[in-house]
Chain A
Amino acid sequence: MMKETEIKKLTDMVADFVGHIGKKLPDDVVAKIEELGSKEDAALPKVLYETMTKNQSLAVELDRPSCQDTGVLQFWLKCGTNFPYINELENLLTDAVVQATFATPLRHNSVQTFDEYNTKKNVGKGTPTVWWDIVPNSDTCEIYAYMAGGGCTLPGKAMVLMPGAGYEGITDFVLDQMTSYGLNACPPLLVGVGVGTSIETAALNSKKALMRPIGSHNDNENAAKMEQLLEDGINSIGLGPQGMGGKYSVMGVNIENTARHPSTIGVAVNVGCWSHRRGHIIVDRDLNVTCDTHSTWKFEA
């Protein structure tokens, strides 16, 4: 294959995957929504879950995006330094988003700041958002793709606490967001909590936390314990589907953490809505692709 052909193949692959995640939720979200729905017995949450489930099957049947807010596309890359397309990757992701925008179709969600006009292509200066992790001596590339909605994961909240506030302060910060910002972010939520040394490290950790599968746990024992405590605590508030009351509030709480300066505790909360449209693919040097989030996705070049 000529390099051009290969780049086109990778672009088509990403565009196809982006279109797919707009119409079909990942396997873990589907299973969790089904589980939470089956545990409700009051009439209101039951009707809401039924409507949400019906919406997802209609989206596939009619081949339309399941929520009208198809978000801003955000990519988190774990790219090997020997991945043959590392140089082309960032441009190719932009091309893939434009392609998916017209093929799917996606809503035009990119407004140039200060000039204040909608580009009508869903891409602009710095969008799609791309975060890079470079992996030395690897020749594969992992791509997380996320449709970040205007009411859920884009707003988020972060602050830097004083160490005196401790993990009790983190608890307050997370729970207080749930009855304000979280309530309007279309529960049941996947809650991403980032802990770090500063505003931006905590914020990025909270976004990465949302990429982790539902039901997975932080490697650190204390952090994993706190995930469970927060999950049980937020569930006990009983936000229910759409924030209108029910037995549960969240699909899970994922914490990602990095070290901190002795004088600071950075904390951030970032929520994924029930329509948590994120996907993960692993591409090798020959452009063979595997996907561990969507058993429903098959790519044919």
Chain B
Amino acid sequence: MVEIRDGKKVLVTPVSKEDLKDIKIGDIIWLDGDLMTCRDVAHRRLVEYGRELPYDIKDKAIFHAGPIVRKIEGTDDDYEMVSVGPTTSMRMEKFEYEFTKETGVRVIVGKGGMGPNTEKACKEFGAIHCVFPAGCAVVAATEVEYVAEHHWDELGMPETLWCCKVKEFGPLIVSIDTDGRNLFEEQKVIYNEKKEAAKQRIYPEVKFIK
């Protein structure tokens, strides 16, 4: 579902392919609902070892992140999010096509760009990749309402699947959309052109070896 709240575009899980149709690279959106942390080992288990995820993420969102969590005092097994920031999404690139195909995940959140596998997945299955501003771990933690479930605890705190309920989680900047367009790749072309121009300006000024 898509809701507009005080001018903010908020995706509410479950998210359908249709909901993502008008969302394009560079858009700023927010997320309500189910967001599960999921990074290196979980991707490997699913894609390489064919293990099923213990939590259904079809039409939901994942977050490439390794958080700091704290057990809530007086409970057996309840945790709160202290600090959670995105980790480099590119590490998951080699798994993301298969991962998206198998799980039906709709929204992938992380840091930095991803590559052709993810572009292909987003286009074929109707998913998007978004960036959460890195270094803003306290903002992200306060947008997690509570941790509903956690699985694969044996992987340790950063790799555990923390299944969070989030409220207006963002800002999320769309970096790959359902057309398979890739913001970082398009930006890189512009950056490289400008970089070459800058070099040409600097060269004549730095002839210190005479």
Contacts and interface: CB of A to CB of B under 8 A. Distances in A.
A107 B68 CA distance: 8
B137 A65 contact: yes
B138 A183 contact: no
Interface string A28-66: 000000000000000110011001101100110010111
A212 B133 CA distance: 26
Interface in B190-204: 190-192, 194-195, 197-199, 201-203
B135 A67 contact: yes
- For A48, A163, A170, A172, the residue with the greatest tally of chain B CB atoms inside 10 Å of its CB is A48
Given A64-B82, A65-B83, A105-B68, A47 B171 contact: yes
Contacts of B197: 236
Contacts of A241: 133
A269 B167 CA distance: 40
Interface stretch (A9-17, A75-83, A201-209, A221-229): A221-229
A246 B39 CA distance: 29
Contacts of A105: 68
Contact of B206 (A66, A171, A236): A171
B115 interface: no
Contact of B133 (A52, A68, A172, A229): A52
A52 B112 CA distance: 16
A51 B139 contact: yes
Interface in A160-180: 163, 166-168, 170-172, 175-176, 178-179
A67 B28 contact: no
B173 interface: yes
Interface size class of A (residues with CB under 8 A): 35 or more
A232 B205 CA distance: 13
A68 B138 CA distance: 8
Contact of B171 (A51, A107, A229, A232): A51
B112 A184 contact: yes
A66 B66 CA distance: 15
Contacts of B28: 43-44, 47
Residue with the greatest number of chain A CB neighbours at <10 A, chosen from B26, B112, B173, B183? B112
Contact of B139 (A55, A222, A275): A55
B148 interface: no
A163 B209 contact: yes
A68 B84 contact: yes
Contact of A242 (B134, B138, B191, B201): B134
A238 interface: yes
Contacts of B111: 184
- Size bin of chain B's contact surface: 35 or more
B136 interface: yes
A179 B205 CA distance: 22
A167 B206 contact: yes
B199 A171 contact: yes
A58 B138 contact: yes
A66 B111 CA distance: 16
Interface string A253-278: 00000000000000000000111000
A172 B85 contact: no
A233 interface: yes
B183 A244 contact: yes
A194 interface: no
Contacts of A59: 138
Contacts of B175: 244
Contacts of A275: 135
Interface string B167-188: 0000101010000000110011
Interface string B62-99: 00001110000000000000111100101000000000
Contacts of B139: 51, 54-55, 58
B5 interface: no
Contacts of B112: 183-184, 243
A145 B187 CA distance: 35
Most A CB contacts (10 A, CB to CB) among B139, B173, B197 go to: B139
B88 A151 contact: yes
Interface of B: 26, 28, 66-68, 82-85, 88, 90, 111-112, 131, 133-139, 141-142, 171, 173, 175, 183-184, 187-188, 190-192, 194-195, 197-199, 201-203, 205-209
Given A58-B142, A178-B195, 8 more contacts: A55-B135, A67-B136, A168-B199, A168-B203, A184-B90, A229-B201, A233-B198, A243-B112
9 contacts: A48-B133, A55-B136, A65-B137, A67-B137, A68-B67, A151-B134, A163-B209, A244-B173, A245-B187
